[in-house]
Amino acid sequence: IDIDWEYPVACGIECGKPEDNANFTALMAEFRRQLDAVRPGLLLTVAVGAGIDKIRVTDPAAYHPYLDYINVMTYDFHGAWDAKNNHQSALFDSPNDPSTGDQKLYNSNDAIEAFISRGVPAAKLNLGIGYYGRGWT
């Protein structure tokens, strides 16, 4: 089972609530408990946002023990919603990136490092790659 909650606490289409941090961890714990009761060894994964604004408001150290993998969605960093064009799935930061603030950290390397620095073992992290392009007019 892969859980795709976009996004606990942070904003996506709608903004989450502060208590969603604890709710997310509790949901992962309950899913793990229920899966193990049915058949131990079933995979439980999550798809999570890769922006630092999405990562810092949750507690990966608390929820990762219940998961087999964390699928980091390192795409859609930028798109037609931005005022300037930019890489939608940058691997590393670029000195030419016009972004400021948190968006300056919208790249795969910084996302993976953010999870590792918060206690997630690298072996649990999967790099999500979008196999499509974005266009600007």
Q: What parts of the chain have a pLDDT lower than 70?
A: none
Q: What is the pLDDT of residue 32?
A: 99
The residues assigned a catalytic role are 6
CATH number at residue 10: 3.20.20.80
Q: What is the pLDDT of residue 86?
A: 83
Cα 100–106–112 angle (5° rounding)? 140
Q: The whole model's pTM is what? A: 0.91
Token pair recorded at residue 57: 């408001």
Number of domains present in the structure of the chain: 1
Q: Is residue 111 part of a domain?
A: yes
On the 0-12 / 13-18 / 19+ scale of CB atoms within 10 A, 54 is buried
Q: Which of 36, 5, 34, 43 lies closest to 21, judged by CA?
A: 5
Q: Which of 86, 87, 52 lies closest to 72, judged by CA?
A: 52
Give me the domain span that covers residue 90.
2-128
What's the pLDDT tens digit per position in 66-80?
999 999 999 988 888
Q: Is residue 66 part of a domain?
A: yes
